[in-house]
Amino acid sequence: MSTKKILIVYFSHSGNTREIANQIHKSVGSNIFEIQTTKQYPADYDMATKQAKQELESNYKPALKTKIDNIKEYDVIFIGYPIWWGTYPAPIKSFLLEYDLVGKTIVPFCTHGGGGSGRSAADILELCPKSVIFDGLAIRGNDSKNSQNNVLEWLQKINITESLK
């Protein structure tokens, strides 16, 4: 029985999404890849959210500093991001548009400040209509360091270990 190949891709500004990505990585194995932009976001939260709002309103797609050469090798792609203004941030949009994800299983996960996953799953589906989108996980950013049980429960709920066989 062949095993499907997994990739965990994430963008993290404060480190909360990175924390969840690493927890998923510990649970399912796989390769892990951090999306980085050529121009960094401001460290100041208010300035970063102001920039994020402008990017969303202008449909901006930042250039990505890091690239994945072998995306075709992966069957399942976890995509992690913070929720900015009700959806994923612009670097995720750049990623989704840069790679051919037709036929891939996309498993979204996000961190948020209280609004859950917003419309991010619907927005992913809109850009990747020929991909299979699994039910995502939304973790409050402040809880990211203590969320391993939530991550494990979610992975069991979506039967990700079964779908990898």
- DSSP at 46: H
Residue 115 forms part of a structural domain: yes
Burial 45-76 (b: 16+ CB within 10 A, else e): eeebbebbeebbeeeebbebeeebeebeebbb
Degrees (nearest 5) of the Cα angle 106, 88, 116? Answer: 90
**What residues make up the domain containing 89?**
6-163
Specify the amino acid at residue 113: G
State the total domains in the chain: 1
> Is the residue at 1 inside a domain?
no
- The verdict on residue 98 lying in a domain is yes
Question: Does residue 15 sit within a domain?
Answer: yes
Query: 75, 163 in Cβ contact below 8 A?
Result: no
pLDDT at position 1 = 28
* pTM, to two decimals: 0.93
Is position 25 within any domain? Answer: yes
Contact 124, 9 (CB under 8 A): no
Which pLDDT tens digits describe the chain residue by residue (165 residues)? 247 899 999 999 999 999 999 999 999 988 999 999 999 999 998 899 899 999 999 999 999 998 999 999 999 999 999 999 999 999 999 999 999 999 999 999 999 999 999 999 999 999 999 999 999 999 999 999 999 999 999 999 988 754 444
* CATH number for position 73: 3.40.50.360
How many C-beta atoms surround the C-beta of residue 142 within 10 A? 12
User: CA dihedral in degrees (50, 61, 100, 80; nearest 10)?
Assistant: -20
Residue 110 in any domain: the answer is: yes
Q: How many angstroms separate the CA atoms of 137 and 150, rounded?
A: 9
Residue 14 lies in a domain: yes
